[in-house]
């Protein structure tokens, strides 16, 4: 269950998987990995784009 609550009474942190640290860690790690990959993908794209333009 993604919901950390079963009632709104007394609810505090309500974001998905707020009560499951492993899942928070998983989504956080995936987010960081995707962000880093996007930089790597940019470098790859540049290198491919520059093939015909290198001296």
Per CB under 8 A, which of residues 30..49 are in contact with other proteins? 31-32, 35, 38-39, 42-43, 45-46, 49
Q: Is residue 54 a contact point for other proteins (CB under 8 A)? A: yes
User: Rounded to an integer, what distance in angstroms lies between the CA atom of residue 42 and that of residue 50?
Assistant: 12
User: Is residue 23 a contact partner of residue 17, using CB atoms and an 8 Å limit?
Assistant: yes
> Which positions ≥6 away from 6 have C-beta within 8 Å?
none
For the CB of residue 3, give the shortest distance to other proteins in the complex, in Å.
12
Choose which of 3, 28, 30, 37 interacts with other proteins (CB under 8 A): 28
Token digits for 51?
Answer: 């093939």
Q: Is residue 11 a contact point for other proteins (CB under 8 A)? A: yes
């Amino acid at each position: 269950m993604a919901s950390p609550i079963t009632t709104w009474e007394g609810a505090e942190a309500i974001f998905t998987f707020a009560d499951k640290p492993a899942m928070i860690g998983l989504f956080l790690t995936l987010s960081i990995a995707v962000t880093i990959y996007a930089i790597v993908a940019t470098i790859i794209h540049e290198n491919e784009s520059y093939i015909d333009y290198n001296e």
